[in-house]
């Protein structure tokens, strides 16, 4: 087997120019996949961390009922003893912080006009500790130490609709947890511009204490858990799942990936694009290699005839051609990996900027991540392509008529 | 004496290409017609005749790399016409050595690796291979050139490597198709001496095709072919050499 591998290796370098051309094509495919895939991975990372740090968190905890039935009254599927739950979560490994949230809705009025809002109540300190960002277009973020007035953040579209600005007052009306109507007066601390019109037209945020006063409930909708690193999500998920197993109120944990709709859509779209590029590389490698290997077969017809005459099993001829393609694929992958990683490092070092993506004014950094799984995948792709490409020439070589092959000029 | 090769009234016809892959050929050409031949172990036999007389075809049939249209061939007692391709391959691997007019060495292998190849195919252990390769190369006087690739060897040396490759697995029969055709007189004479010597010392059976008068001078038995038929089968009782 060793001698056969040696024969395959030496055969590759018989026609160096052709081998180099094939290697350039194959390694070019690997390099291209590494650069495109590395850039996509950088984008995924950016979107993922953006979503997590914009308030999604790494994990979110809900009551099980939250997913099994609609609320009759506000917060009747909320978490009961959330302070105790939060304290237990905080004591775990890799936990950076816990932020309670309430989702509610109601009517907002400026005295002349009313509009529906989708409210969210947060603990400003907890949110700040977790580093969650809010895009404040005017004014300031909520503060837990505000004296007297109840503060609120409202979306830019809602502010425009209600004809209010920072410092103005509004009245919020909502159904309490026992079904009564309640209202509170709030002062606008800041105006939020998320960039999503539908969201900004209904967005309103107040502190958790204010919401509990408005809704007359001590419950919360969910607990958002922030970790020290995204890679620890699965580990913490497993630990928390076992910690809260068998509690009187059944709780459900959701990972960020289960809640990050935008991330999942982008991931799915770009993965499809990447698979398409991969298919093109596969097809190019396959077709050009078939051609090269067929030429090799014709050039070596007499030699193959000689080997067959000496009693070489036809399967060995097939194996020899496939081994040559395999070695060529491995060499192409190695060269492609080296070139791809080098180019990626150069691009990262150069700090290339791309034009701003749609909906953004900031230019996008063209950064390429070095992803081991991508390196393995793209290498396997070209190795498999070349090996598959060798099947036809290998079978044709093995089926040569010996007498005709020996007479081949 | 036992027959190592027994050719019984064989014919070989080839279809003439009519340019279509779909329609069967309409005409044929006969390369051999009713040829019979018996070769005993240890013979040094030449098949002679002009170009197109059927020498190579006969060698191909004896060497089991082609099948006769009619007739039977027995190699070392084995009837070859009913064997499957895999069995023919095994028969060639174990019982036959080949020497070709154009040497047909594997260019990326060294002389020693070329000689080693038949043993590799037979699955001989590496230590035994090394031993036999050294013996074979020594028997053809090329021990010193063992690590040279064919492109660095002269024509005569290449053909001697080919002979070493043909005998390394100790076959029952060595077939050589025009072995001196690409050699100058000096190298041709050396090769003839070498083959004759191996025939005598190792008792190897040699069947070769040639129209080289130098080679025929030293051949004990000459089978002459003309237009695919045996026209004479003469024994000269020992060549002048050896």
Average pLDDT over residues A347-365: 81
pLDDT digit string, tens, across residues B106-130: 999 999 999 999 999 999 999 999 9
From A30's Cα to the closest Cα of chain B, the distance in A is 29
Examine the domain organization and report whether A168 and A76 are in the same domain: yes
- pLDDT confidence of residue A286: 84
Examine the domain organization and report whether A276 and A355 are in the same domain: yes
pLDDT band at A224 (very low <50, low <70, confident <90, very high): very high
User: Residue holding tokens 């005709």?
Assistant: A404
Please judge whether B66 and A403 are an interchain contact, meaning their C-beta atoms are less than 8 angstroms apart.
yes
Q: Which SS3 state, helix, strand or coil, does residue B4 take? A: strand
Domain assignment of residue A231, yes or no:
yes
pLDDT band at B22 (very low <50, low <70, confident <90, very high): low
Domain assignment of residue A256, yes or no:
no
Residue at which a domain ends, from A192, A216, A249? A249
At residue A240, does pLDDT exceed 50? yes
Going by C-alpha positions, the residue among A267, A264, A368, A204 that lies closest to residue A56 is A264
DSSP B26: S
A311 touches B at CB < 8 Å:
yes
At residue A354, does pLDDT exceed 90? no
pLDDT digit string, tens, across residues A260-281: 988 999 999 999 999 999 899 8
Residues of A in contact with B102 (CB under 8 A): 302
CB A105, CB A117: distance < 8 Å: yes
Rounded Cα distance, A11 and A317, in Å: 13
Rounded Cα distance, A192 and A197, in Å: 11
- Of chain B, the percentage scoring pLDDT greater than 90 comes to 68
pLDDT digit string, tens, across residues B47-71: 999 988 999 999 999 999 999 999 9
Q: Which SS3 state, helix, strand or coil, does residue B37 take? A: strand
- Mean pLDDT rounded to a whole number for chain A: 90
- Of chain A, the percentage scoring pLDDT greater than 90 comes to 61
Average pLDDT over residues A108-118: 92
- CA A256, A259, A263, A264 dihedral sign is positive
Of A303, A308, A313, which has the smallest distance from its Cβ to B106's Cβ? A303
B106 touches A at CB < 8 Å:
yes
Residues of B in contact with A11 (CB under 8 A): 108
- pLDDT confidence of residue A361: 66
Domain assignment of residue A60, yes or no:
no
CB A302, CB A405: distance < 8 Å: yes
pLDDT band at A102 (very low <50, low <70, confident <90, very high): very high
Please judge whether A306 and B106 are an interchain contact, meaning their C-beta atoms are less than 8 angstroms apart.
yes
- pLDDT confidence of residue B239: 44
Please judge whether A403 and B98 are an interchain contact, meaning their C-beta atoms are less than 8 angstroms apart.
no
Of B66, B89, B116, which has the smallest distance from its Cβ to A313's Cβ? B89
- pLDDT confidence of residue A27: 93
Average pLDDT over residues A361-370: 85
Examine the domain organization and report whether A94 and A208 are in the same domain: yes
Residues of B in contact with A309 (CB under 8 A): 63, 65, 92, 98
Cα nearest neighbour of A300 on chain B = B106
Examine the domain organization and report whether A85 and A143 are in the same domain: yes
Q: Provide the terminal-to-terminal Cα distance of chain A, rounded to the nearest Å.
A: 30
Q: Which domain holds residue A222?
A: 65-249
Q: Which SS3 state, helix, strand or coil, does residue B227 take? A: coil
At residue A293, does pLDDT exceed 90? no
Domain assignment of residue A56, yes or no:
no
From B109's Cα to the closest Cα of chain A, the distance in A is 7
Examine the domain organization and report whether A6 and A74 are in the same domain: no
Going by C-alpha positions, the residue among B151, B155, B158 that lies closest to residue B185 is B155
What ranges do the domains of chain B cover?
Answer: 42-67+84-235
- pLDDT confidence of residue B23: 60
- Mean pLDDT rounded to a whole number for chain B: 89
Of A303, A311, A402, which has the smallest distance from its Cβ to B121's Cβ? A311
Please judge whether A309 and B65 are an interchain contact, meaning their C-beta atoms are less than 8 angstroms apart.
yes
- pLDDT confidence of residue B241: 39
Least confident window among A239-253, A332-346, B90-104, B122-136? A239-253
A314 touches B at CB < 8 Å:
yes
Please judge whether B89 and A303 are an interchain contact, meaning their C-beta atoms are less than 8 angstroms apart.
no
Please judge whether A311 and B86 are an interchain contact, meaning their C-beta atoms are less than 8 angstroms apart.
no
pLDDT digit string, tens, across residues B187-232: 888 888 888 899 999 889 999 998 877 778 878 899 999 999 999 9
- pLDDT confidence of residue B242: 34
Domain assignment of residue A59, yes or no:
no
- pLDDT confidence of residue B237: 54
Residues of A in contact with B116 (CB under 8 A): 3
Better-scored residue on pLDDT, A89 or B238 = A89
Rounded Cα distance, B177 and B92, in Å: 15
- pLDDT confidence of residue B240: 40
Examine the domain organization and report whether A214 and A324 are in the same domain: no
B92 touches A at CB < 8 Å:
yes
User: Residue holding tokens 């609609």?
Assistant: A70
Going by C-alpha positions, the residue among A239, A257, A241, A242 that lies closest to residue A93 is A239
pLDDT digit string, tens, across residues A381-395: 999 999 999 999 999
Domain assignment of residue A254, yes or no:
no
DSSP string, B158-177: HHHHHHHHHHTT--SEEEEE
Better-scored residue on pLDDT, A280 or B239 = A280
pLDDT digit string, tens, across residues A26-43: 999 999 999 999 999 999
In order of A114, B54, B73, the CA distances from B58 in angstroms are: 106, 6, 11
Element (H, E) at B85: helix B85-95
Average pLDDT over residues B156-172: 93
Least confident window among A16-25, A145-154, A380-389, B9-18? A145-154
From A312's Cα to the closest Cα of chain B, the distance in A is 6
Please judge whether A306 and B121 are an interchain contact, meaning their C-beta atoms are less than 8 angstroms apart.
no
Domain assignment of residue A228, yes or no:
yes
At residue A46, does pLDDT exceed 50? yes
At residue A194, does pLDDT exceed 70? yes
Examine the domain organization and report whether A150 and A282 are in the same domain: no
Better-scored residue on pLDDT, B26 or A221 = A221
Domain count, chain A: 2
Residues of B in contact with A319 (CB under 8 A): none
Please judge whether B98 and A309 are an interchain contact, meaning their C-beta atoms are less than 8 angstroms apart.
yes
Residues of A in contact with B106 (CB under 8 A): 7, 303, 306-307
Rounded Cα distance, A183 and B121, in Å: 93
Domain assignment of residue A360, yes or no:
yes
User: Residue holding tokens 């799915």?
Assistant: A268
Tallying the residues shown for chain B, one arrives at 242
- pLDDT confidence of residue A178: 86
- pLDDT confidence of residue A42: 93
Rounded Cα distance, B146 and A278, in Å: 47
Which CATH fold topology does B42-67+84-235 show?
A: Rossmann fold (3.40.50)
């Amino acid at each position: 087997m060793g001698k056969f591998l040696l024969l395959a290796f030496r055969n590759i370098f018989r026609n160096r120019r052709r081998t180099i051309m094939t290697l350039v094509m194959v390694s070019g495919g690997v390099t291209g996949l590494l650069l495109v895939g590395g850039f996509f991975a950088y984008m995924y990372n950016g979107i993922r961390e953006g979503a997590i740090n914009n308030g999604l968190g790494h994990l979110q905890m809900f009551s099980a009922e939250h997913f099994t039935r609609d609320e009759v009254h506000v917060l009747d599927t909320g978490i009961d003893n959330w302070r105790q739950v939060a304290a237990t979560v905080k004591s775990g490994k890799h936990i950076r912080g816990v932020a309670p949230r309430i989702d509610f809705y109601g009517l907002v009025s400026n005295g002349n006009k009313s509009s529906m809002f989708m409210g969210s109540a947060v603990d400003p300190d907890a949110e700040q500790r977790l580093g969650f960002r809010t895009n404040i277009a005017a004014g300031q973020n909520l503060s837990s130490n505000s004296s007297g007035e109840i503060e609120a953040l409202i979306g830019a579209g809602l502010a425009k609709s209600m004809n209010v600005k920072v410092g103005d007052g509004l009245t919020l009306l909502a159904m309490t947890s026992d079904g009564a109507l309640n209202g509170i007066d709030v002062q606008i601390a800041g105006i939020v511009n998320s960039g999503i019109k539908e969201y900004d037209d209904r967005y309103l945020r107040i502190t958790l204490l204010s919401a509990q006063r408005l809704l007359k409930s001590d419950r919360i909708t969910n607990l958002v858990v922030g970790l020290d690193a995204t890679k620890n999500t699965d580990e913490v998920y497993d630990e928390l799942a076992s910690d809260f197993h068998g509690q009187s109120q059944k709780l459900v944990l959701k990972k960020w990936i289960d809640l990050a709709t935008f991330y999942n859509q982008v991931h799915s779209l770009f993965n499809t694009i990447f698979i398409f590029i991969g298919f093109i590389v596969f097809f190019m490698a396959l077709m050009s290699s078939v051609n090269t290997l067929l030429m090799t077969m014709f050039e070596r017809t007499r030699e193959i005839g000689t080997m067959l005459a000496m009693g070489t099993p036809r399967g060995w001829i097939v194996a020899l051609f496939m081994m040559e393609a395999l070695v060529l694929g491995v060499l192409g992958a190695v060269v492609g990996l080296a070139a791809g990683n080098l180019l990626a490092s150069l691009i990262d070092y150069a700090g290339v900027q791309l034009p701003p993506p749609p909906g953004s004014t900031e230019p996008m950094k063209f950064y390429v991540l070095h992803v081991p799984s991508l390196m393995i995948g793209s290498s396997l792709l070209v190795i498999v392509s070349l090996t598959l490409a060798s099947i036809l020439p290998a079978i044709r070589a093995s089926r040569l008529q010996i007498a005709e092959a020996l007479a081949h000029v | 004496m036992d027959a190592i090769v027994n050719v019984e009234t064989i014919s070989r016809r080839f279809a003439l290409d009519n340019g279509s892959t779909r329609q069967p050929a309409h005409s044929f050409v006969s390369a051999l017609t009713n040829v019979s031949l018996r070769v005993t172990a240890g013979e040094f036999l030449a098949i002679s005749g002009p170009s197109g007389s059927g020498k190579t075809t006969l060698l191909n049939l004896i060497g089991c790399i082609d099948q006769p249209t009619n007739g039977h061939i027995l190699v070392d007692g084995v009837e070859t016409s009913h064997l499957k391709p895999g069995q023919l391959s095994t028969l060639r691997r174990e019982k036959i050595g080949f020497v070709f007019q154009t040497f047909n060495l594997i260019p990326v292998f060294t002389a020693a690796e070329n000689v080693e190849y038949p043993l590799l195919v037979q699955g001989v252990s590496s230590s035994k291979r090394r031993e036999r390769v050294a013996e074979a190369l020594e028997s053809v006087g090329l021990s010193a050139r063992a690590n040279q690739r064919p492109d660095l060897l002269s024509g005569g040396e290449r053909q001697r490597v080919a002979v070493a490759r043909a005998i390394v697995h100790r076959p029952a029969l060595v077939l050589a198709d025009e072995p001196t055709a690409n050699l100058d007189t000096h190298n041709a004479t050396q090769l003839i001496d070498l083959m004759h010597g191996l025939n005598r010392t190792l008792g190897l059976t040699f069947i070769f095709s040639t129209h080289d008068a130098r080679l025929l001078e030293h051949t004990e038995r000459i089978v002459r072919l003309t237009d695919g038929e045996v026209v004479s089968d003469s024994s000269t009782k020992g060549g002048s050499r050896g």
